[in-house]
Structure 1
Amino acid sequence: MTLPRQRGLTEQAANTAIDTACRLLRLPSIRNEFSDIADRAMKDQLTYRGFLAELLMAECDDRARRRSERRIKAAGFPRDKSLRAFDFDANPNIDAATIHTLASCEWIKKSQPLCLIGDSGTGKSHMLIALGTEAAMAGYRVKYVLATKLVNELVEAADEKQLSKTIARYGRVDLLCIDELGYMELDRRGAELLFQVLTEREEKNSVAIASNESFGKAHMFRRTRARRCRNSTGSASLPPRFQMSPGRPPRAVVSSA
């Protein structure tokens, strides 16, 4: 389709032409905002280049926002949680400065792991979702899943001979958030399958885990990890921890093991 081009378009004809062109070029933000931006440009006496820059930046900003929304939706968070809404006063053992350092996502860029450990009600899930949301907004692919749901999916995949494909799918995201590890006991098979997911991601992509138990106690991970260490030439390492238990000072270590 070729749009008619002529000089001296009326205001209404110009608006119609802009609307049609934006639809063809798939520029919804410019189509929705060009009139307001044009009015502001005239008021501020912008040059043609300045006006064009305002239009293009509006489109770029809106596309970035929509991409963030898609990544957050794809992550599968059960509810909206943000760092801004977290009550640091309710748990003074959590260092706000450390949390905001984690929100910079530098540890995800370096493919490092994070474990949030604390009792019920200390805000582990809130923090996990909030940090995952920050990562999605920063451009990372994120996936949130409950530990029991992940294990059940892995068991079904193993029974259907689809385990490798399932593990690979969880291995592709930049950040895998595993919540509520420790609230329900895993049998040996479930622990082994979950450990395969962690092994697949080790030193490749980040994993963030929220647990009410230390990894030394969490559902056979001690024995599973010990067996893997004996069968490998290298030494496996547990994720760095952020301690969220009341009465203890917080710890946040995101350096390579």
Structure 2
Amino acid sequence: MTAVDHETLVAMLDRLKLTAIRDQLDTLLDEAARSDMTLRESLAFLVQREIARRDERRISMASKLAQFPFVRELAGFEFEAQPSLDPGQIRELATCRWIAHGDTTLLLGPPGTGKTHLAVALGREAIRQNHSVQFVTAATLVAMLAKGHDDGLLEKQLTQLSRPKLLIIDELGYLPFEANAAHLFFQLVSRRYEKGSILITSNRSVGEWGSVFGDPVVATAILDRLLHHSTVITIRGDSYRLREKRRSGLLQKAGPAFETDKANHS
């Protein structure tokens, strides 16, 4: 075979859009030579680097589209600080089988116990497994639905919110729903039911959701759909933020931890 100079090889890689191999060509070839790789092993090595670069870019872009408030990973979660959590159950959620099936996950517990951390980390795991994700707070979601309703664009808004394979709704229950908001939320849940997964974090047990939505009948209809195929995880631990203040003596120990009337549904 005719010898190929560096510039020609770079041009061919450019044409094939193999930019990771192109950008590290000399380094990769030197590493393959030092490791005495066979031709087949060298090819696999180069292709693996290209795939890794593309995965990094895909995850980065999908994470921006998801609109996560910050970057969090499961590896950074302090399970020892929340003994009520079963790490095995969280690892099972990280396989994303529940997302493939269109199921629901509820993360319940007091503020500061790591619910949003887990939600973002599970969302990033979903992206790694090629699922589309959108993150939104409950307050922002309700505002979006209300605006869509007022502008006569509710159907368009519901369609957009139905597209992601996983919709993460954070901080449900921190603010009560305004009039008609529960009905709009019900329409979204119904649209995604058994089609797209929902992950909700809340500081309220499901038994309190009637007061959150301001309409017990609608709340029951919402929960009927959310709990049909679901995993409900309750964190009964202490707030990370308050724990540090207690260690410094600024706060006294709080009263009984958050409780819920449900633990698991399938």
- TM-score normalised by L of structure 2: 0.83
| Local SS of the residue matching 2:74 | coil
Give the number of equivalent residue pairs: 241
Deviation for aligned residue 1:39: 1.1
Per the alignment, residue 24 of structure 2 pairs with: 33
Kindly tell me: are residues 236 and 8 of structure 1, through their superposed partners in 2, closer, same or farther at Cα, counting changes over 3 Å? Answer: closer
Match of 2:55 in 1: 64
2:217 to 204, 223, 234: 223
Alignment of 1:42-121 (within 5 A): 42-121=33-112
2-side partners of 1:217 and 1:204: how far apart? 26
* Root mean square deviation of aligned Cα: 2.3
Contact 1:103 1:131 in 2 (8 A): yes
Label 1:8 to 1:228 Cα distance change in 2 as closer, same or farther (>3 A). Answer: closer
The yes-or-no answer on 1:253 pairing with 2:244 is no
Distance change in 2, residues 1:249/1:72 (3 Å): same
| Contact 2:189/2:222 (8 A) holds in 1 | no
Q: In structure 2, do the counterparts of structure 1 residues 254 and 104 end up closer, same or farther at CA, with 3 Å as the change threshold?
A: farther
**Structure 2 unaligned residues grouped into runs of 5+:** 238-256
TM-superposition CA deviations, 1:70-114 (whole Å, max 9, x none): 212211100111111111122111111111111111111111101
Question: Kindly, what percent of the aligned residue pairs are identical?
Answer: 32
Could you tell me which residue of structure 2 aligns to residue 7 of structure 1? 2
* Superposed counterparts of 1:59-208, under 5 Å: 59-208=50-199
Cα contact 1:215–1:222 (8 A) shared by 2: no
Deviations 1:209-250 (A, max 9, x none): 000112332223632144689xxxxx6453541111235799
Q: What is the DSSP-based 3-state SS (H/G/I as helix, E as strand, rest coil) of the residue aligned with 2:49? A: helix
Match of 2:9 among 18, 26, 29: 18
Supply the AA of the counterpart residue of 1:144: F
Q: Give the counterpart letter for 2:264 in structure 1.
A: V
Gaps in structure 1 of 5+ consecutive residues: 1-5, 230-234
Instruction: Measure the CA separation in 1 of the matches of 2:198 and 2:43.
Output: 42
Partners of 2:20 and 2:153 in 1: CA distance: 42
TM-score (norm 1): 0.86
